[in-house]
Structure 1
Amino acid sequence: MARGRKIYEGKAKILYEGPEPGTLIQYFKDDATANNAEKRAVLDGKGVLNNRISELVFTRLGGIGIPTHFIKRINMREQLIKQVEVIPLEVVCRNVAAGSIAKRLGLEEGTQLPRSLVEFYYKKDELGDPLVSEEHIGAFGWATAQEIDDMVSLALRVNDFMAGMFAAIGIRLVDFKVEFGRHYEGDSFRTILADEISPDSCRLWDMETNEKLDKDRFRRDMGGVTEAYAEVARRLGIIKENENGSGGAEIVSIKGDK
């Protein structure tokens, strides 16, 4: 499938014009960033793993009626997606204290939260993606009250589904970040899930050992980042058991690839 012109490049993905109006091709890079892109590296095979994991998660979410931008996977690194008007918010759903909430509230990392919490962060790299309230969102016109309700409702539905999906393979869903967009159909539009869901955007801990299987391995210089992502893919049934998934050369035998 031929790409059109490049229309956007972010820290982990590139967007190209798609083959039909209203479509884009999303390319997953091997780049890894942390601390608002102050820390950078290229991790061989990460983009392939994130593409496949995100494909599986979005396909399953679509199967339970959650609207998403995902259309189909094109190849090892690319997906065909619906074009959306991105809502400039990161929506974080938390089940366990980790990362910024643990620091902000003085909680011990690993503490179970009283209930799943949904937080909003304004997407602005130069400001460090600050935490914002629904009052800020409404006042500055980033989203309507209905869109806020839709994002919270969808985030909690995604959380319920993914918590069960990961628990079934021995992984604890600590938290995750999602993004949403407005998908226009004629004169109307609806709020749909966009971006990606992968170990780049989730905190995933082994339920028995609490071993981190996510991007915190890169943020905290723990090493074994791609291997941890490959372990998630293995448990999800994407990689064959005898594959180590540690680099691009080995990942070519991921199940289902042509």
Structure 2
Amino acid sequence: MARRKKLYEGKAKVLYEGPEPGTIVQYFKDDATAFNAEKKDVIDGKGVLNNRLSEFFMTGLGNIGIPTHFIKRLNMREQLIKAAEIVPLEVIVRNYAAGSMAKRLGMEEGTRLPRPIVEFSYKDDSLGDPLVPEEYILAFGWANQQELGEIVDMALRVNDYMSGVMFGVGIKLIDFKIEFGRVYDGEFPRLILADEISPDSCRLWDIETGEKLDKDVFRRDLGNLTDAYTEVARRLGVLPSNVTHPNTNPTLIN
């Protein structure tokens, strides 16, 4: 088979031209980065776990009526997704103070917020993905007023779903980051959830112990990242309960 055309390579994923117009193959790498890629490593099995977990969440969100880019999982590291024009924003939903918010505001990590807070950052690694207010988003045309309202509404719906699912398996959803894209029905754009949802893009704490089950394990040198992600997958039923780690070397077909 001919090698697929690479469209884009990021820190954690590679995008390839899909088999049909309007589709893309999303490949999950084992690379782990933190602090805007100042810290890097390769974590065996991370891509496999994130592929399965993102499939799980995107499928669940689609089932409750939230449109996503997910079509189907192709193999252990790849999924078929809809091509979309990515809105250049990272949408962050926070339920508890942690990470940069706790540092900015001098709050103790784990402090419950009065209500979920939605923040936006401008997607530009060279600038460190700076936080931006809604006024910037509208002024620079990154999204219009209607789209911004839809983004906030969908982000809060995602939060409701994710919080409930995680609580059901003994995990506290501290915060998470999502992205959105536009697909077109003729000349009319509509928004869909894009990118991924995985422990790479969420903060997840065990409700009883406070143990971190997300990328903070890597950021803060708290243990084995694959073990943390595997525990999340096991609790959600994505992996059998007797599996301690996934097959880390799947055979990929190009």
Q: Structure 2 vs 1, CA of residues 247 and 40 (structure 1 numbering), >3 Å: closer, same or farther?
A: farther
Residue deviations 1:19-52 (CA, integer Å, cap 9, x gap): 1100000000000000000110000000000000
Name the CA shift for 1:218/1:246 in 2 (closer, same or farther; >3 Å): farther
Counterpart residue identity of residue 114, structure 2 = P
Contact map agreement 2:213 2:229 (CA 8 A) in 1: yes
Verify: 1:27 aligned to 2:27, yes or no: yes
Specify the alignment match of 2:219 in structure 1.
219
How many corresponding residue pairs?
Answer: 250
Corresponding letter in the other structure for 1:82: K
Instruction: Confirm or deny that 1:101 pairs with 2:117.
Output: no
Name structure 1 gaps, 5 residues minimum.
Answer: 253-258
Question: What CA distance in whole angstroms lies between the structure 2 residues aligned with 1:186 and 1:73?
Answer: 27
- Superposition pairs of residues 17-166 of structure 1, within 5 angstroms: 17-166=17-166
Contact 2:49–2:246 (8 Å) recurs in 1: no
- Matched with 1:14 is 14
Structure 2: how far apart are the matches of 1:246 and 1:219?
22
* 2:195 counterpart residue number: 195
Q: % of aligned pairs identical?
A: 68
- The DSSP-based 3-state class of the residue aligned with 2:196 is coil
Q: What are the superposed Cα offsets for residues 93-134 of structure 1, whole Å, 9 maximum, x if unpaired?
A: 000000000001111001000000000000010110000000
Deviates more, 1:185-194 or 1:6-15: 185-194
Once the two structures are TM-superposed, the CA of residue 223 in structure 1 deviates from its matched residue by 2.0
Separation of aligned partners in 1, 2:38 and 2:223: 18
Shift of 1:199: 0.2
RMSD: 1.3
Equivalent in the alignment of 2:248: 248
The match for 1:233 is 233
Contact kept in structure 2, 1:227 and 1:246, CA below 8 Å: no
**Per-residue CA distance 1:231-250 (angstroms, 9 max, x = gap):** 0000010111111116616x
**Could you state the TM-score of these two structures normalised by the residue count of structure 1?**
0.95
What are the within-5 Å matches in structure 2 for residues 172-183 of structure 1?
A: 172-183=172-183
Contact 1:183 1:192 in 2 (8 A): yes
3-state SS in 1 of match to 2:214? coil
Paired residues of 1:239 and 1:245 also in contact (CA < 8 A): no
Residue by residue, what CA displacement relative to the aligned partner does 1:178-216 show, whole Å, maximum 9, x if unpaired? 000001122222011000000000000000000000000
The structural deviation recorded for 1:9 is 0.2
8 Å Cα contact 1:226-1:247 kept in structure 2: no
Where structure 2 has 5 or more consecutive residues not aligned to the other structure, the ranges are none
User: Quick one: distance in 2 between partners of 1:2 and 1:11?
Assistant: 25
Equivalent residue of 1:242, what SS? coil
- 1:151-177: CA deviations, max 9, x gaps? 100000000011000000000000000
CA distance in 2, matches of 1:110, 1:22: 41
The TM-score with structure 2 as length reference comes to 0.96
